[in-house]
Each structure stands twice: as C-alpha cells, then as structure tokens.
C-alpha cells in the first residue's frame, strides 16, 4: 500500500458550528473515488481515528473524519450525544452533524457521491446505524460495538451492514439483535461477535486485540468492496 497523497484539515458547517475534519485521499486516483465517513468514539478525533482514515485512503477511498465535539465541552457534548442515542435515536444533533458531514464528503472533488460508506466506533457506530436508517445516500456501514436505534424496527430501512461486536460487552446483544432484524428484513449483513473480546478491541488502547482487529478490518474491506465500491447506481 502507498501513503495517502493528500492530508488536510477542512471545516464542516453544521447547526451554526464549524467542525474541523481530517481528510485523507488516496495516493493515486483514476477518476472519482468512493468516499467513507469515519465516525469517532467518545475519545474524539484522535490519532487512532485519523489512522483509520489513513488506512481507508490507502485502500482507495477518500476518507473524512469529523470532530463532533468541536466548540463544545467534550464531557457535556458526550453526555448529550449519548442521551440522544437512547432517547431520540434518529433525529438528535449528533445524527444531524453526521449527515451534514456526509453531504460535505459527497461534494468533495474526486468523490463519487453514489459510492459512500461509513464506519463508526461505539458512539460513532450508533451514529452510523442511525444515519443508515434515515439517509439513503450511504451504501453500506460498518458499526463497531455500537447501540441500535429505538425502535429497533427502524433498521429495516437500513443499507447493508457489516458489524463487529465484542463477546464480553453489553453491545454483544445489540449486534445479535441487529443481525436478526436485518436478516428478517432481507437486508445484506455480516454481523460477527468476537468471543473473548472486550469493548474497543479494534481501537488502540488497553482492550486492543490485533488478531480480532485485523479480521474485522478484512471483513469490512470485503463488504465495502461489494456494496460501496461496487455499488455505483
């Protein structure tokens, strides 16, 4: 793999706020590339999330990772975000910020707006699922250890989903319920529970597991190859 050709910071305007965003492009681009929105977890737009955006760029995507906590106190913002996820799953401010970021991604030069995907971690995984239920521009999503919207039946409007959940975590049941609902609705999905893994096993930190992380990444790449890269309409 080659290094991303172009790394820069851009701004996403949403609800009167100017959110900084990390943008990574592939080293070589032959025509418009697919785009992927990388949605961070509770730790914000950190080096780990930027590294994930870089990996997508190395795989041929234009990757955008937005700081959803910008211009706000992180703890207060996180509290509001999680309250929204559980009480107003599909319409709270975090979902609106995420959808605005998807709009910016699709309008970037060199991005094929008909081939957009999203990946999210914990809070970000929850936002990815909510966005998939309310925005038909996204072709596939990859939630990691996220929570489902309420009511769960909302996911019957979702795009295809490749999800990764730890066996030793409360989100395990979220992944299993998501799989059952998507399968019943006939929506393509690849939901895997990683036995023995803990929360954030695919993010750098005390629970990181290299083997499970690589397996999850390979599943995401294969699924996105089919449903995002091959999803031109």
Q: Is residue 98 part of a domain?
A: yes
pLDDT confidence tier of residue 1, bands split at 50, 70 and 90: very low
Q: Is residue 178 part of a domain?
A: yes
Per residue in 175-221, pLDDT tens?
A: 999 999 999 999 999 999 999 999 999 999 999 999 999 999 999 99
Q: Is residue 65 part of a domain?
A: yes
**Phi/psi of residue 220, nearest 5 degrees:** -60, -45
Range of the domain at 128: 6-229
CATH number of the domain encompassing residue 16: 3.40.50.1820
pTM exceeds 0.75 for this model: yes
- Residue 22: exposure state from Cβ atoms within 10 A (0-12, 13-18, ≥19): buried
Per residue in 76-111, pLDDT tens?
A: 556 666 665 666 568 778 899 999 999 999 999 999
Q: Is residue 1 part of a domain?
A: no
Q: Is residue 184 part of a domain?
A: yes
CB proximity list for 92: less than 8 A, separation 6 or greater? 80, 81, 83, 84, 85
In the chain, the number of structural domains is 1
Tokens of 211: 């083997």
- Residue 124: exposure state from Cβ atoms within 10 A (0-12, 13-18, ≥19): buried
Q: Is residue 168 part of a domain?
A: yes
């Amino acid at each position: 793999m080659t290094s991303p050709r172009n790394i820069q910071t851009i701004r996403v305007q949403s609800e009167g706020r100017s959110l900084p965003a990390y943008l990574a492009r592939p080293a070589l681009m032959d025509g418009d590339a697919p785009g992927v929105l990388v949605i961070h977890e509770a730790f914000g737009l950190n080096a780990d999330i930027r590294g994930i955006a870089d990996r997508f760029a190395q795989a041929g995507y234009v990757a955008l990772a937005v700081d959803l906590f910008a211009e706000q106190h992180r703890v207060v913002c996180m509290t509001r975000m999680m309250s929204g996820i559980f009480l107003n799953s599909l319409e709270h401010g975090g979902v609106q910020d995420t959808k605005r970021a998807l709009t910016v991604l699709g309008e970037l030069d060199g991005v094929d707006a008909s081939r957009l995907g999203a990946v999210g971690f914990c809070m970000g995984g929850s936002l990815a699922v909510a966005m998939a239920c309310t925005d038909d521009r996204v072709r596939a999503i990859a939630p990691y250890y996220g929570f489902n919207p309420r009511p769960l039946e909302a996911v019957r409007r979702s795009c295809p989903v490749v999800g990764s959940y730890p066996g030793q975590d409360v989100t395990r049941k979220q992944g299993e319920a998501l799989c059952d609902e998507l399968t019943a609705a006939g929506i393509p999905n690849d939901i895997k529970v990683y036995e023995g893994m803990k929360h954030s096993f695919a993010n750098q930190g005390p629970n990181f597991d290299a083997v499970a992380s690589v397996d999850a990444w390979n599943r995401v790449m294969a699924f996105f190859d089919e449903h995002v890269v091959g999803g031109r309409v």
